[in-house]
Amino acid sequence: MEWMSDDHARFRLSGGALRTQLLMAAAAVGAIVALALSWVFSWQVEQEDPVLVAREQARQQAFHAPAGSCLTWSEPDAADARTISCAEPHLFEVVGVVDISDKFPQGAPSPDLKLWRQIAQEHCSEPAEKYLGTKLDPFGKLTVGLLRPPEAKWAEGDRQLRCGVQWAGPGGELQPLTGPAKEQDQSMVWEPGTCLALMGKTVGDPVDCAGPHSYEIVATLDLKDRFEDGWPNQDDQQTWLDVECNKAADKYTGDADLDKKGLILGWDVREQESWAVGSTKVNCKVGAALEDGSGLAVVKGSVKKAEKTTTPSKPAEPAESATKKSGESGSGG
C-alpha cells in the first residue's frame, strides 16, 4: 500500500465564515514509514564492561521477547531497548514470531526498505489481528511493525521476525501506548491540547504548541454519542460535528473569534471500516489554510483559554499565635 497525502483535497471552506470544516486524511504516512523501523541489535560489547554487558543482555531479551511482551527505548536506534510492563508507556508490543526462511533461504540477500515493508504487511498483519481478536483499523492508530535479525545473523541464516503493533504518528515517530494493545481504542485521536507539527503543507508529529504547528487539538468527541444505530455517512457526521465542534472550540478557547485570528475549525470523520472495529472517536482541531487552498499554513501559539491566576491572599495567622500576640500587646500596655 502506498500512501499519498490528500489533505489539500479535503479543505472545504465556506465563502464567508472560515470557521467550518477543515478535514484531514485519517491515514498517516507514519503508518507506512514505521514498518521500516526494524530495529537491529548488533552492538559489539566489551565483556569487561558490566554496564554494557547488562545493556546488551536487556536488548537481546527484548529482541527475543515472546508474544504479549511490551518494549520501549529512548535512543533513536533503540540501542537501549528493554522489556517493560504493558501497563507502562511503551513503543512496541510483540504479537507473534514468524519465520520467513521458506521465501528467503540461506544465502538470500537481506531485503531492502521497500521489501521489509511488504514483509511486515504480509507476515505480521494476520498474527496481529489474531492476537488482538479483531481486525486492524486501516485508518487507526495501531499499525504493524517488526523486529528483524541483524545483518550478521541474517547471513548465518536467521530468519525469525518478531511481529508487533505500534502507534506511528503522521510524521513517522512512534508514539507511546499505555496498556495492552487488546484494550486500545484504535481511533486515531490525540488528547486535547496536543499540537501537531507542520510538514510541508500537511501534518506531522506532536510538538510544543508555542512553536510552529499545523493543528491544535481542542476536543475529542465520540460519534456513538449521536449515532447509536451504526455507521453514519460522512455528510451526517459533518452536520453533527459542525455543531458539536463549534461548542467544544468555544469552551476550549473561551469563545475566541477564530475568524479574526485567521484560523479554521476542523474535524475528522470516520470511514465505515473504522467504525466496524470500534473506532468511533474523532478530534476537533484548529488550524489555518494557505490562501491558495493547497494545504495547511503555519500556526504559532495555543488558542486555549488562559487560566486565570489570582494572587493568593496572605493566610490568616493561626488562632494560637494571634492570641499570644494579643496577650503580649495587652501586657505591655
pLDDT at 27: 32
- What distance lies between CA 113 and its chain's CA centroid? 23
Residue 40: the pLDDT is 38
For residue 250, what is its C-alpha cell? 468555544
| pTM for the full predicted model | 0.78
Per-residue model confidence (pLDDT) at position 106: 92
In sequence order, what DSSP letters do the residues of 268-302 get, joined into one string?
A: ----HHHHHTT--EEEEEEE-B-TTSSSB--EES-
Q: Say what the pLDDT of residue 26 is.
A: 28
Contact in structure between 84 and 72 (CB atoms under 8 Å): yes
d(CA 10, CA 238): 12
pLDDT of res. 142: 96
Are 267 and 285 in contact by the 8 Å Cβ rule? The answer is yes
What is residue 47's predicted lDDT score, i.e. its pLDDT? Answer: 52
What is the structure's pLDDT at 48? 63
In the block, cell 548488533 appears at 42
pLDDT of residue 49: 74
Q: What is the DSSP string of 113-137?
A: HHHHHHHHHHHHHHHHHHHHTSPPP
DSSP 253: H
Domain ranges of the chain: 1-26+188-305, 28-184
With 0-12 / 13-18 / 19 or more C-beta atoms within 10 angstroms meaning exposed / middle / buried, residue 263 is: buried
Provide the strand spans (E) within 122-278: 142-147, 160-168, 174-175, 195-199, 202-207, 212-213, 215-222, 264-267
Mean pLDDT by 10 residues, the chain (333 residues): 26 30 33 36 51 77 90 84 95 96 94 89 95 96 90 90 94 94 96 96 95 97 97 97 98 96 96 97 96 93 76 42 33 34
Cell digits of residue 327: 496577650
